[in-house]
Every structure is written in structure tokens, then in C-alpha cells.
Chains A and B, each alone.
Chain A
Amino acid sequence: DTAVSQTPKYLVTQMGNDKSIKCEQNLGHDTMYWYKQDSKKFLKIMFSYNNKELIINETVPNRFSPKSPDKAHLNLHINSLELGDSAVYFCASSQDGLAGVDNEQFFGPGTRLTVL
């Protein structure tokens, strides 16, 4: 029944490792997002995909690579993890990110990444 799900919920890893976070939505939405929320609780957009096509790519290090195999999935792969990557990463989806009205975003439960 979960609308937007992410795995894993917690991820603890060493600096320099490569890791992936998976996201799936069963709402039939066209657009999916990745956000990073740092220790100061500031929520910042990283990427957005609409029907598997990248539409928003903020100034994010190229160690971060999103992949959307289909419109229900948006995964985030992170290479060469750094201490500063420690944060909570939220996946979200909305009905249509390219047309108006109140197409609210539904957020996943978040993945707490800790880089040691």
C-alpha cells in the first residue's frame, strides 16, 4: 500500500565506497524527484525525471547519478562517497511536474546516509 517507497532506510558506509538508493512509486505519477536534507533540515532538490527523462539537474557533483528504468522507479547511485554526503535523501513523485494546479509531491520515508 506504500505510495512512495525507498530502500534502504538506513545506510552506513565508509568514505570512498559506492552505494545506491532505490525508489519506487505506485501512484502512477509521471514525475519523480530526489531531494537531499542536510543536518540543518534544509530540503534541496537534486534531480527530477518526467517519464524517464531528466528535466531538473541541480548543481550536484557528478558522483551522483540518477537512473530511471521506468516511470515508476528512480534510483540514485553515488560514487566515491564523501563525509559531506551524509544526509537524509528523500525520493518524491507528483502527477505531472510540467503542468499547473496543485500537483503536490508525495515523499518517500527517506534514506539516512551516514558516511564514516
Chain B
Amino acid sequence: GQNIDQPTEMTATEGAIVQINCTYQTSGFNGLFWYQQHAGEAPTFLSYNVLDGLEEKGRFSSFLSRSKGYSYLLLKELQMKDSASYLCAVRDLSDYKLSFGAGTTVTVRA
């Protein structure tokens, strides 16, 4: 199984940058996902990393280090609409099951 840890809450100012860290322990790694979930809504896919390095998608970037069991999601030029919960999820190699962290609630203030 996987142990996935991420901070519970983060607060940042509009226009700023926030980095959400995620550490994991897994018996078999087959990719790491980041999802965004607004209050009362479904999670939506943000990014996927399976190889080490940085994946950039517009204002959002995600980094992975498999040897360290570590990932981060970087949110740049924060906007009020970025206020949401950000879920780190690791896929298992044996059954492709997705295990989620508890989520990081990001609050963007004006």
C-alpha cells in the first residue's frame, strides 16, 4: 500500500506562488497524479508524473523525484479561483489502484 503525506492547509496571496509538497511510500510505484477539488465538486485532473523531473502546464507545474518519494505541485500567478483542495495520488504497480492523500486546502486571499 501507500502512505501519502501532504500539508493540510496553505494560504497565499493573489498573484503569488504556492508549492504543495507530497511525500509517499509505496511498495510499487506506477505514477503520481495531482487533482484539484473545489468545495462541493468532483476532483479534476491536473497533472501526471511517472519519470523524474518537472512537468509544466500553464500556471501549474508538477515535479517528481522517485528516489526520494517526493513530489510537489507549483501554482503560479495565483488567482482567487485557485482556492480549492489539491489531492496527491499515487498509482500502485500491481493493481493500478489510485491511493489519495488527505488533500491540501489552498486559500487565496486578495
Contact = CB atoms under 8 A, between A and B. Distances in A.
Contacts of B41: 109-110
A107 B98 CA distance: 13
A34 interface: no
A32 to B, nearest CB: 13
Lowest 4 CB-CB distances: which A-B pairs, in order?
A102-B48, A107-B42, A104-B45, A43-B100
A75 to B, nearest CB: 18
Main secondary structure of the interface of A (DSSP, over half): loop
Given A42-B102, A104-B48, A110 B42 contact: yes
Nearest to B55: A102
- From B43, B87, B99, B102, name the one whose CB has the most chain A CB atoms within 10 angstroms: B43
Interface residues of B, number: 21
A67 interface: no
Interface in A98-116: 98, 100-102, 104-110
Secondary structure at the B interface, as helix, strand, loop or mixed, is strand
Contacts of A45: 97-99
Given A102-B48, A104-B45, 6 more contacts: A43-B87, A56-B95, A56-B97, A104-B48, A110-B41, A110-B42
B7 interface: no
B97 A41 contact: no
Contacts of B102: 40-42
Interface in B81-102: 85, 87, 95-100, 102
